[in-house]
Structure 1
Amino acid sequence: MVTAFILATTKTGKEREVLNDLKEIGEIKEVHNVYGDYDVFIKAESSSLDNLNEFLVRKIQSVPNIMMTTTMIGL
């Protein structure tokens, strides 16, 4: 199992919409609005690095109003 921590920046004023959209994605275990350089903190789990890459490209990057993400893989 691969655990990823994803920090996302959203369009201004769209933080709540992004949070609600992310809550519908099965791989996501936690999602929080945060203050600072990023707007959303996401904890996700995937069965492999290949599946994580697919998840990031197909699901996270397709969420409307996400401008940028940074992903950290847990050890």
Structure 2
Amino acid sequence: METAYVLINCDLGSEEAILDSLRHMESIKEIHGTFGAYDIIAKIENLDRDKLREIITWNIRKIKHVRSTLTLMGIEGRN
């Protein structure tokens, strides 16, 4: 199983709408609102590494009011 953690910056006040959008996306296993440099962290899992990239690029980054993302990809065999 491939894993990625996506740190999300969003426009002020749009956190709940973005969290709601993330709840309905495939492969997203956990989401949390956070304090600090990023507003939301999402854990994504999929058998296919390319599918993870697709979800991040074409789904998460296209959500209205998402300003930026930082993706941390897991290293296979290092759990």
* TM surpasses 0.5: yes
- 1:56 is displaced (CA, Å) by 1.1
Map 1:50-65 → 2, pairs under 5 A: 50-65=50-65
Counterpart amino acid of 2:71?
A: T
Structure index of larger Rg = 2
Unaligned runs of 5+ in 1: none
In 2, Cα distance between equivalents of 1:46 and 1:59: 14
Equivalences, count: 75
Query: Which residue of structure 2 aligns with residue 66 of structure 1?
Result: 66
RMSD in angstroms over aligned alpha carbons?
0.9
- 1:51 is displaced (CA, Å) by 1.2
Unaligned runs of 5+ in 2: none
Please report the TM-score for the alignment, with normalisation by the length of structure 1.
Answer: 0.92
- Kindly report structure 1 stretches of 4+ aligned residues shifted beyond 4 Å: none
The sequence identity of aligned pairs, in percent, is 32
- 1:74 is displaced (CA, Å) by 1.6
In 2, Cα distance between equivalents of 1:19 and 1:12: 13
